[in-house]
Structure 1
């Protein structure tokens, strides 16, 4: 069975890539507005791009959809343009994060409309899989089992008593690498993980699934009736309506762990969930001292450590078994053995109301990007780049005034009813509460310096009146 059977009238093969989540265990590189799946970690392609390329080996590109957070839609589309034929319709937006079961149901809507008995594969966007040919063979076997009504998982032969993964208890053999599943164990403690590994009956749960759409929806109706009622109402209103009010539940807890007919295909491919700095250290290319180094790093007499710099020169001396991650606005230091505690750091920062959880100093937008250069009480300075042909929303601010200076390119600026063209070293004032818009009518990027002043300078002080990207009434520029 190959990807040639995608899109047939009944029982074709389709894929859902789940590209939500914030990747908190990879902070400070991964942030809410630019999570790990949108980053290139150890290569030129981002994790999302690598996943889409792999999935396209087993599923036709026309049968691939991506579910992501509404905040990331434009970045996801930009990264996958050229990989997916109709990327605008292939990327489905979650209005808010509601875990994996609602996300899968949201992505299933257009698939079921085209093919109610579709065989659907669900794949997280942050996995590393090197042997793609073996992965494709596993998908073929899973599709065969799914057509027979099995809900299919993929088991990874465990290499260590890992406490950060779930485990699958293998049962009766189903032939050709398939097994019935007896049960699941979620992220055990060290002692339990060692016992599971020693038994020889357990595999790591990869978090990938294949199922027949109608069988899956029948299971949702039984085990998650509130979500099924919301799903059934899709013909009366857009499915995204009411999304914030539905239960936040994983597909494992909401459905999978309650099923009777679950199969596992044993993976013949290398797999890793790139969910922590320890994983990136373990998989990285080590030097003679056992160190993995990326970026502008000077390491003297160090061993068995991970050093990553994206924010200038990083110098370390005489340390071992350490993780040091540096970005332009934050630095993380912890032992390799404590890498899982990064999520605790993020939790503490959230309680403090820190902006370091949300965004880097450079934030990407559909029209380009902005970088915060400096800020303090009652002022903020940004460098803004607007791509050729792009324009920001028509907007106003209640609490701040702005002063724009063009550094390069030609900017078309609207202030109230007036429009003016500005070039290098020309400037304009944007008074508080005035309607304004910045556009780039030229063929090269426009770069400006924006100086904000006022008692409140956060991004939610934006009232949007018109936006070519469909973001009216939402806070990001």
Structure 2
């Protein structure tokens, strides 16, 4: 079976899940720019690398991506450069509801095309080497799935990892494939050591292959409330029905309750790029066993990971440490404590910190904005709009804005009027006034925006029209 297989029934499809938040890679990974959209280590982003790998084993026309509504524009933009066909097959969740609802959302166009399709599900944040072995494992999994097995991929463990779930190998089915005897959720260190020593447990990769009709029957049997939404999904708006679903993983909701589960032993090198420890382990090391990215001065340091984005970092005499610096946040912890980053994010969230949501620079469909400074009652941004970029038609309830054009030619709609502004020209945007910024020229437009008012958050934006298909009415965001 090859990627060009297009038989009418039982054809193979791929579903890439690109909706995770990547909290363990904070402060690089944020809610508005999670790890799958980052180029960790340079080159392609994790999403782009996953798409390039998947289309080697699946027909590009049969590849779908599920992501969060907030990330859909960035996902489409990234896919356009590596998989132009895939940019049109991005499905957006109105709200994150874990992997089971996400898979069902992605299955809809697949089942419409072929109810007996064989579907591979792949997270967008994995690193996989040895593509030939990966292809062979996919072919084996597709064969098992056609026979009605729900197929997982077991990674031979290299260490007593506490950040992964484990699969217990059962009776052999064929060379390199076994029935699954059971699952263990992320264990503590003592349990992980016992599982590793026993030799019958594998890391759960989070990749699956199944026949669509078999999977839907399993959802009906083990997650009837979610299946009821699936069967009635066209009877009310997606956002209304989807937001009412429980937050449940495909493992907990379905997979762990099945009888006919197979595991293909992964013959390829695999890593879940879900922690700074993984980035250190896989990174290119210097003579002192340090991994360094960005503008970093490291003196007499050993066995450490140093990453700096947007500012300079100097470290001295540091051993076995992780130091990650962005323009607005810095993380420092021992390599052995990398899993605790999720606790840091949890603590910041409980404090209402905005540091988990966005970087200083935020990308939007129309361009980007960078927060330069802010304080009580004011915020200063640099806004960049490429040629043909156009912000939504919007208004604010709580703030006024003053725009100064730094470069390019800006078309500003203010109420019923339109004005062209060039360098050093400015305009005031009163509170409650409809307005829109566009770039009608051939060069980028850059403006400085000064906001004033008692409330300056992004949800003080009401959209009335948007050329990028984002929702209008109510609180929106830029």
Are the structure 2 counterparts of residues 119 and 238 from structure 1 closer, same or farther at C-alpha, using a change threshold of 3 Å?
farther
User: What's the counterpart of residue 383 of structure 2?
Assistant: 384
State the Cα deviation string for residues 64-112 of structure 1 (Å, max 9, x = none). Answer: 0000000000000000014334444310000000000000000000000
| CA distance, structure 2, for counterparts of residue 276 and residue 365 of structure 1 | 26
Are the structure 2 counterparts of residues 329 and 37 from structure 1 closer, same or farther at C-alpha, using a change threshold of 3 Å?
same
| CA distance, structure 1, for counterparts of residue 10 and residue 42 of structure 2 | 36
Is the 1:26–1:277 Cα contact (8 Å) retained in structure 2?
yes
| CA distance, structure 1, for counterparts of residue 441 and residue 137 of structure 2 | 50
Q: 3-state DSSP class of the match of 1:438?
A: strand
Give unmatched runs, 5+ long, in structure 2.
Answer: none
The offset of 1:390, in angstroms, is 1.4
Is the 1:84–1:90 Cα contact (8 Å) retained in structure 2?
no
User: What's the counterpart of residue 5 of structure 2?
Assistant: 5
User: What's the counterpart of residue 337 of structure 1?
Assistant: 336
Q: 3-state DSSP class of the match of 1:57?
A: coil
Is the 1:224–1:255 Cα contact (8 Å) retained in structure 2?
yes
| CA distance, structure 2, for counterparts of residue 3 and residue 206 of structure 1 | 22
User: What's the counterpart of residue 229 of structure 1?
Assistant: 228
| CA distance, structure 1, for counterparts of residue 132 and residue 326 of structure 2 | 36
Is the 1:231–1:239 Cα contact (8 Å) retained in structure 2?
no
Is the 2:290–2:302 Cα contact (8 Å) retained in structure 1?
yes
User: What's the counterpart of residue 321 of structure 2?
Assistant: 322
| CA distance, structure 2, for counterparts of residue 238 and residue 395 of structure 1 | 24
Does structure 1 residue 293 correspond to structure 2 residue 295?
no
Q: 3-state DSSP class of the match of 1:382?
A: strand
Does structure 1 residue 84 correspond to structure 2 residue 83?
yes
Does structure 1 residue 447 correspond to structure 2 residue 446?
yes
User: What's the counterpart of residue 129 of structure 1?
Assistant: 128
* Deviates further, 222-231 or 238-247: 238-247
State the Cα deviation string for residues 345-392 of structure 1 (Å, max 9, x = none). Answer: 000100110000000000000000000000011110000011211111
Is the 1:291–1:305 Cα contact (8 Å) retained in structure 2?
yes
Is the 2:60–2:85 Cα contact (8 Å) retained in structure 1?
no
Does structure 1 residue 370 correspond to structure 2 residue 385?
no
State the Cα deviation string for residues 33-58 of structure 1 (Å, max 9, x = none). Answer: 00000000012100000000000011
Is the 1:62–1:84 Cα contact (8 Å) retained in structure 2?
no
Aligned pair count reads 476
Q: 3-state DSSP class of the match of 1:210?
A: strand
User: What's the counterpart of residue 216 of structure 2?
Assistant: 217
| CA distance, structure 1, for counterparts of residue 251 and residue 62 of structure 2 | 24
User: What's the counterpart of residue 179 of structure 1?
Assistant: 178
The offset of 1:171, in angstroms, is 1.0
Q: 3-state DSSP class of the match of 2:179?
A: strand
Give unmatched runs, 5+ long, in structure 1.
Answer: none
Are the structure 2 counterparts of residues 33 and 196 from structure 1 closer, same or farther at C-alpha, using a change threshold of 3 Å?
same
State the Cα deviation string for residues 143-198 of structure 1 (Å, max 9, x = none). Answer: 00000000000011111111111111111111131111100111111111111111
The aligned runs of 1:66-85 (5 Å cut-off) are: 66-85=65-84
User: What's the counterpart of residue 476 of structure 2?
Assistant: 475
* Deviates further, 81-90 or 245-254: 81-90
Is the 2:392–2:465 Cα contact (8 Å) retained in structure 1?
yes
| CA distance, structure 1, for counterparts of residue 203 and residue 376 of structure 2 | 50
- Report the TM-score when normalising by structure 1: 0.98
| CA distance, structure 1, for counterparts of residue 438 and residue 362 of structure 2 | 18
Q: 3-state DSSP class of the match of 2:398?
A: coil
| CA distance, structure 2, for counterparts of residue 85 and residue 418 of structure 1 | 38
The aligned runs of 1:41-60 (5 Å cut-off) are: 41-60=40-59
State the Cα deviation string for residues 254-299 of structure 1 (Å, max 9, x = none). Answer: 0000000000000110000000001100111111111110000000
User: What's the counterpart of residue 271 of structure 1?
Assistant: 270
The offset of 1:239, in angstroms, is 4.4
| CA distance, structure 1, for counterparts of residue 318 and residue 88 of structure 2 | 50
RMSD (CA atoms) = 1.0
Is the 1:308–1:325 Cα contact (8 Å) retained in structure 2?
yes
The aligned runs of 1:152-167 (5 Å cut-off) are: 152-167=151-166
Is the 1:64–1:84 Cα contact (8 Å) retained in structure 2?
no
Is the 2:63–2:86 Cα contact (8 Å) retained in structure 1?
no
Is the 1:66–1:91 Cα contact (8 Å) retained in structure 2?
yes
Are the structure 2 counterparts of residues 90 and 198 from structure 1 closer, same or farther at C-alpha, using a change threshold of 3 Å?
same
User: What's the counterpart of residue 40 of structure 1?
Assistant: 39
| CA distance, structure 1, for counterparts of residue 396 and residue 80 of structure 2 | 34
